[in-house]
């Protein structure tokens, strides 16, 4: 029997029991985990921002490190969400069989995957916010408008967590994740305005970039960090939300097929 259960995701408060399990594990290693998540993006931000920034005129009307800060917040949120939804969720699902144990309790797979989505998004939000805090502490964020970046970061975290869960549902082993990073995450980082304004790119690349969710993440967060209103916030939010919902639904259908057949 190969019929797919394509019913829409069901949500219940039981997702918090799953979320809580992951939170308790994370809490044991919280400080190294946060520092680890901060170190890499910070090295890039300061290295490129101050090093390369010295050689550059203003980018997009601001100093390069200010320009780069918003890109780093978005890219780092994306990376943290992807790592958690791929490597960590896969460990829980496939290697440790944690999901299997949970499914023997009165918790449905929809609750498990929902809890994982919320957890991955939580952890990624923490990553993005941690960078935002450091950047603000350095005085690189001029306006309280930046507070609006917080819900934006959570939305970005949800979007990339949901996308990652699709890959996890399909993965035979950890090696599989390399394709996702090489073919999607890395190109996105270069095509979506993280390191430089997208108008530097050829028209085709710009068109591709427009279709990628990270573009909309950057379009939302960068103006907010510069104290400006985004140009098309509704469009950006709609795209991110749509990608999040559709991805989550696909991930759930694939996971149901993988674990419940």
Partner 1 sequence: MPSPLIVDQLRKSYGGREVVAGLSFALQRGECYGLLGPNGAGKTTTLRCCLGLTAPESGTITLLDEPVPARAREARIKVGVVPQFDNLDPDFSCAENILVYGRYFEMPSAAIRARIPALMEFAGLAGKENTNIKNLSGGMKRRLTLARALVNDPDLLVLDEPTTGLDPQARHLIWERLKRLIGEGKTILLTTHFMDEAERLCHRLAIMDDGRIVTEGTPRDLIGRHIEKEVVEVYGEGAPAWAAAEAGNFSRRCEVSGETAFCYVDDALPLLAHLAERPALRTLHRPANLEDVFLKLTGRELRD
Q: Which residues bind partner 1 (CB under 8 A)?
A: 1, 14, 17, 20-21, 24-25, 28, 96-98, 100-108, 259-261
Residue 24 or 203: which CB sits closer to partner 1? Answer: 24
Nearest-approach distance from CB 26 to partner 1, in angstroms: 9
In angstroms, the CA 224 to CA 145 distance is: 6
DSSP category for residue 106 = S
CB of 108 to partner 1, least distance (A): 5
Are 12 and 113 spatial neighbours (Cβ–Cβ below 8 Å)?
no
Helix residue ranges, H only, the chain:
15-28, 30-46, 53-55, 64-83, 89-90, 98-104, 109-137, 149-170, 177-180, 186-191, 203-210, 213-225, 233-260
Using the minimum distance from each CB to partner 1, give the nearer residue, 237 or 259: 259
The nearest distance, CB 181 to partner 1, in angstroms, is 25
Nearest to partner 1 of 64, 110 (CB atom): 110
Alpha-carbon gap, residue 182 to 177, rounded angstroms:
9
Q: Which is nearer to partner 1, 98 or 215 (CB)?
A: 98
CB of 150 to partner 1, least distance (A): 28
Three-state DSSP class for 174?
helix
- In the complex with partner 1, which residue's Cβ is closer, 105 or 229? 105
Shortest separation between residue 6's beta carbon and partner 1, angstroms: 14
Tokens, residue 107: 């918790």
User: Could you tell me if 98 and 92 are in contact, meaning their C-beta atoms sit under 8 angstroms apart?
Assistant: yes
**To which residue do tokens 């958690």 refer?**
84
């Amino acid at each position: 029997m190969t019929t797919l259960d394509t019913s829409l995701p069901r949500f219940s408060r039981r997702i918090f029991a799953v979320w809580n399990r992951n939170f308790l594990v994370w809490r044991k290693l919280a400080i190294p985990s946060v520092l680890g998540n901060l170190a890499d993006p910070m090295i890039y931000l300061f290295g490129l921002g101050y090093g390369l920034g010295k050689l550059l005129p203003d980018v997009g009307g601001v100093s390069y490190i200010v320009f780069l800060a918003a890109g780093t917040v978005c890219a780092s949120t994306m990376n943290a969400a992807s790592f958690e939804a791929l490597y960590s969720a896969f460990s829980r699902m496939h290697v440790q069989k944690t999901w299997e144990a949970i499914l023997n309790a009165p918790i449905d797979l929809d609750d498990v995957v929902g809890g994982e989505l919320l957890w991955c998004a939580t952890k990624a939000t923490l990553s993005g916010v941690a960078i935002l805090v450091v950047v603000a502490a350095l005085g690189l964020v001029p306006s309280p408008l930046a507070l609006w970046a917080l819900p934006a970061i959570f939305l970005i975290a949800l979007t990339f967590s949901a996308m990652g869960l699709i890959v996890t549902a399909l993965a035979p082993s950890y090696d599989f994740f390399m394709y996702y990073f090489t073919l999607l995450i890395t190109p996105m980082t270069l095509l979506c305005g993280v390191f430089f304004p997208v108008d530097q790119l050829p028209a085709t690349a710009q068109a591709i970039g427009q279709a990628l969710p990270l573009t909309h993440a950057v379009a939302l967060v960068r103006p907010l960090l510069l104290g400006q209103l985004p140009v098309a916030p509704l469009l950006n939010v709609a795209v991110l939300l749509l990608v999040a919902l559709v991805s989550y639904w696909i991930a759930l259908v694939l996971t149901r097929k993988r674990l419940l057949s």
